[in-house]
Amino acid sequence: MPPVVPLPAPPVRASSDHASRDAEATACALAAKYGDEAATERLFQLLNRDVWRFVAYLASDAQAADDLTQETFLRALGSLHRFEGRSSARTWLLTIARRTVIDSIRTAAARPRSCGAEDWQGAAERGQFHPPGFDEEVALSDLIAGLPEDRREAFVLTQLLGVPYQDAADACRCPVGTVRSRVARARASLCKEVLAAETDADAPALLSAAA
């Protein structure tokens, strides 16, 4: 059984550094809209990690995250002329990322699946050496991947990426109260999984860290 790691504590509010980065990213997006190549590159530097983590969790497929991230930014480039700064650039990009993942899932569902021998790449990856901490990260990823899609995206946005609830609601296109409800249910489900998986004396400590 893989080790279970504590859930991230919910952020009380965005830090000043976080808010500053959001403001810079939005300014870069507005400049990039008018052809500023340096601003475009800086925008991608600021938001690439957030987009990658979001699509990796939302798609439950870290292997596809690079392609999904690239597709998200390609779509964003094509839509920059419509960006008005009414929301932060991060919220705007995460909204595009969400649509990119949905389109990818629909495309995959419509594609015929091949059957036969086990995928050789997957078998090779299972035999690779993984650095310390890898198993814990996989354990948390597996727990989050088991959440219903709407709860998973709300949890990842607010609890892992630190997106404010209102911005997460804008990205998910639902009321902020709905996002709060989904996050609460996601945390309850994850705590239940921790209880089921962790049987030693450290379980209470893990749960207190997650509360």
Q: What is the DSSP string of the chain?
A: -PPP-PPPPPPSS--HHHHHHHHHHHHHHHHHTTT-HHHHHHHHHHHHHHHHHHHHHHHT-GGGHHHHHHHHHHHHHHHGGG--SSS-HHHHHHHHHHHHHHHHHHHHHHSPPP-SSPPHHHHHHHTS---TTHHHHHHHHHHHHTS-HHHHHHHIIIIIS---HHHHHHHHTS-HHHHHHHHHHHHHHHHHHHHHH--STTHHHHHHHH-
- What integer pLDDT is reported at residue 15 of this predicted model? 53
- What integer pLDDT is reported at residue 57 of this predicted model? 84
Residue type, 143: L
- What integer pLDDT is reported at residue 192 of this predicted model? 78
What is the Cα Rg of the chain in Å? 19
- What integer pLDDT is reported at residue 42 of this predicted model? 92
For residues 58 and 156, give the distance between their C-alpha atoms in angstroms, rounded to a whole number.
8
- pLDDT one digit per residue (tens) for the chain, 211 residues: 444 444 555 454 445 677 888 899 999 999 999 989 999 999 999 999 999 988 888 877 777 888 899 999 999 999 999 999 888 899 999 999 988 988 887 777 666 555 444 443 343 333 333 334 434 454 567 788 888 888 888 888 888 888 888 888 988 889 989 999 988 888 888 887 767 765 544 444 444 444 4
Contact 65, 156 (CB under 8 A): no
- What integer pLDDT is reported at residue 116 of this predicted model? 44
Phi and psi at 33, nearest 5°, equal: -55, -30
Q: Is 120 left (phi over 0), alpha (psi -120 to 50) or beta?
A: alpha
Measured CA distances, 211 to 54, 166, 190 (Å)? 22, 22, 11
- What integer pLDDT is reported at residue 125 of this predicted model? 38
